[in-house]
Structures are given as C-alpha cells and as structure tokens.
Amino acid sequence: MSRELTYAEAIREAIDLAMARDERVFVVGEDVGVYGGAFGVTDGLFQKYGAERVRDTPISEAGIAGVATGAALTGMRPIAEIQFMDFITLSMEQLVLQAAKLRFMLGGKVQVPLVVRTPAGAGTGAAAQHSESLENWFVHVPGLKVVMPSTPADAKGLLLASIEDPNPVIFVEHKLLYRTKGVVPEGDYITPLSQSEVKRSGRDLTIVATSLMVVRALEAAVRLAEEGIEVEVVDPRTLKPLDAEPIVRSVCKTGRVLIVHEACKTGGFGGELAAVIAESEAFDYLDAPIRRLAGLDIPVPYNRELERRMTPQVDDIVAAARRLVREAR
C-alpha cells in the first residue's frame, strides 16, 4: 500500500521504523526531542521512544559528531541531526578526520555506522549562514557516503538504507522539499545507496540534477516537452559512491548533458559529474559541451529576489536546456 506523505513525514517514518525494529538506533541532536527538530522532522518520536533514544544535546556540534562517532564505533546506530548544514562546519573534525577514516586507519577492524541528517539549501530567507549546500565537501572525503534524496519515497528508502549501512553517511535533506508530497510505500523497504535513477525518460537532452533541483528539472522537462524537447532527468541520489552508469548511458543516448545543482558552481558536484562523463565512453557521444547550471559563487543573499537569482530556477533550467538543444541541432 502506498499513500501520499510529505518528505519530512517520510523521513520521520523511516526513523520510526528503524527505531522500532532496532534497539541500537537512536536520534541525537539539538532540539530533536520535545521540540521535534527545528523543521519538525523528529516530531512525535520523543513521545514514542523517550528521552534516552531521542536525545537532546547542548549546542555542541563537534560534540554531537563525536557522540555519534564514538557510539557507532562501539555498537550503536546513531542518527545525528545537525540542525542546519551550515553548522556542520563545526563538526568537520570528527566527521572528516575520525568517522570517515577510522576504519581505514585501523586496518579495517572497526565500523562506523552512523547517519548525519542535515537540512541544506536556500529559499527560506535565512541568508548566508543557514542556507548552504555543502555536500561536495563530503563527497571529497574517502570513507564517507553522501546521500541527497529528492522525493519523499526516496527519502524514506534511502534513509533506511543509510541507517543499515555500516559506514558513516551524510544524509542531506532540502528545507524546501520537507513539505513536498509524494507517494510513499508503506512499511519497511530500502532504496539501495549508490543507485542513480532515471526520473524521466527522453531522447534530446540529459539533465543530471540533485535534491531540489530534480524537482525543478522535472518541472522544466514538462515545459520543454511542450516545445518538442524531450528531456531525460537522472537523479544520482547517492553522490558518493556515485553510480555513474545510468548517467553515462543516458548521455550516450542523448549526446547532451546539463548538470543542475544548487550549491555554488565552483568546486561543486557538477564539476565531478562533468569529469566522470567526459572520462567515460559517453565522451564519444557528446554532441555539445557538457554544461552546468548551479548556484552563483556568492554567499546566499537575504533579499528575496537576490536569493531567488542565486539558485537555479525552473525558468533557468528551461532556458539552459533549450539553448543546449538548439545549439546542438
């Protein structure tokens, strides 16, 4: 059975299922308890599982990451919440130097099965320190997995998979997606990590998009279809380790690719995707340059219009796609 859930509800359902079936799973973070999380994602879990397993912490992002790492190292399955992805900068040492590397440094003799859930993204008027998309920093770290779901169903399945995964996973949610609705299967299921998905099929152009941009790309695809441009939208879902094959296959088919993400363009995941495509057999099928549409290289501005312009909108995707297809015809 399936029914419509919001993205936030789907995440909550995943946590609930995991906690119900596995005593080792617990939630730890700032205001995750009685408050229900800054975005209400953990709402109700405190009442159901109590203060021990839905654990409020002091404002201690390094401490939260350390608690999650230490607990994961010794048999628990923590789900840490970093309230805004911006704040994860304060957790970097424990995540990047400890959680990511411990297994390797210790000769493969330990596991660090932790999940860090964190909301990213602009569009809420929260300005430069509460709107960042920092996923690619983590993509660069061997030992970490980076997951970015775009739909409620994926959010649930991918979170359940992340909790089951024996490695540290950075699970990047998007604030603007929390209220989006979608059909979500009931019960326990996983959406495997490292499995890119073709969200819409088309022959003229491949758009590889992440997180909120998948939703916008799909919207753009509908409009482009009215103009006779058939867009294929591929969602990597797991940025690392990346499942490149469906992306490469799609580009081989369409010969053109537009990469869309919200994070700043320079040093963003789009560069990695572009390189993966250029290095692959898809190179020989490229009939136009690989193009990226991404956030401007600026901190996220407060002003509504400036903030809107900073990140790719549906119109921008339509225009970029149209340009790419036209110039390649």
Partner 1 sequence: MDDQFADLPPARLQDLLHQMMLIRAFEEAAEQLYLQGMIHGTMHLSIGQEGAAVGACAALRPTDYILSTHRGHGHCIAKGARVDQMMAEFFGKETGYCRGRGGSMHIADVSTGNLGANGIVAGGVPMVAGVGLSIQMQRQDRVALVFFGDGAANEGAFHESLNMAAIWSLPVVYFCENNQYAMSMAIARASKIERLSDRACAYGIPGVTVDGNDPLAVYRATREAVERARSGGGPTLIEARTYRWKGHSKSDKQRYRTKEEVKQWQERDPIARLAQQMIEASILTEGDLATLQARVEQEIIDAIEFAKVSPEPDPATILEGVYA
Partner 2 sequence: MATPVIMPKFGMAQEEGTIIRWLKQAGERVEKGETILEVQTDKIDMEVEAPASGVLTDVRYGVDATVPVTTVIAMIADSAEASPPVTALVAPAGNESPIAPAEVRISPVAQRMAAAAGVDLTQVVGSGPSGRITKSDVASALAEAKEVEFLQGARLLRATPAARRLAREHNMDLALISGSGPQGRIQAVDVEQGARNKEQQAASASTDVQPAVQGATPTGEPLRGKRRTIASRLSQSWRDAPHIFFTTSIDLSRVDALTADLASEVEAGGGRLTLTVWIARAVATALQRHPRLNAWLQPDDDQLLYTQHSDVHLGIAVAVNDGLLAPVVQHADGLGLTALAARINDLSARARAGALTPDEVRGGTFTISNLGMYPVDHFTAIINPPEVAILAVGRAQMQPVWNGVAFEPQRRLQATLSADHRAVDGATAAAFLAEFKRLLEEPARLLL
232 binds partner 2 (CB under 8 A): no
Binding residues for partner 2, how many (CB under 8 A)? 11
- Show the tokens assigned to 156: 């649930």
Least gap, CB of 246 to partner 2 (angstroms): 19
Site for partner 1 in 166-185 (CB under 8 A): 166-167
d(CA 151, CA 253): 25
d(CA 128, CA 135): 16
> Could you give the C-alpha distances from 197 to 31, 236, 285, in angstroms and in order?
34, 6, 20
- Find out whether 228 and 221 touch, Cβ atoms under 8 Å: no
Of partner 1, partner 2, none, which one sits near residue 293, judging by CB under 5 to 8 A according to partner kind?
Answer: none
Region binding partner 1 by CB under 8 A among candidate stretches 41-49, 51-59, 268-276, 301-309: 51-59
CB nearer partner 2, residue 115 or residue 324: 324
Q: Which of 67, 233, 263, 318 binds partner 1 (CB under 8 A)?
A: 67
Site map (CB under 8 A) of partner 2, residues 237-256, x = contact = ------------------x-
Site for partner 1 in 21-40 (CB under 8 A): 24, 26
38 binds partner 2 (CB under 8 A): no
Residue 261 among the catalytic residues? no
Least gap, CB of 109 to partner 1 (angstroms): 5
Least gap, CB of 1 to partner 2 (angstroms): 46
93 binds partner 1 (CB under 8 A): yes
Site for partner 2 in 283-302 (CB under 8 A): 283-288
CB nearer partner 1, residue 64 or residue 214: 64
CB nearer partner 1, residue 185 or residue 241: 241
87 binds partner 1 (CB under 8 A): no
Of partner 1, partner 2, none, which one sits near residue 111, judging by CB under 5 to 8 A according to partner kind?
Answer: partner 1
Could you list the active site residues? 130
Binding site for partner 2 (CB under 8 A): 255, 283-288, 326-329
- Residues of this chain that interact with partner 1 (CB under 8 A) are 24, 26, 52-53, 57-58, 60, 62-63, 65-76, 78, 93-94, 97-98, 102-111, 113, 142-143, 145, 166-167, 241
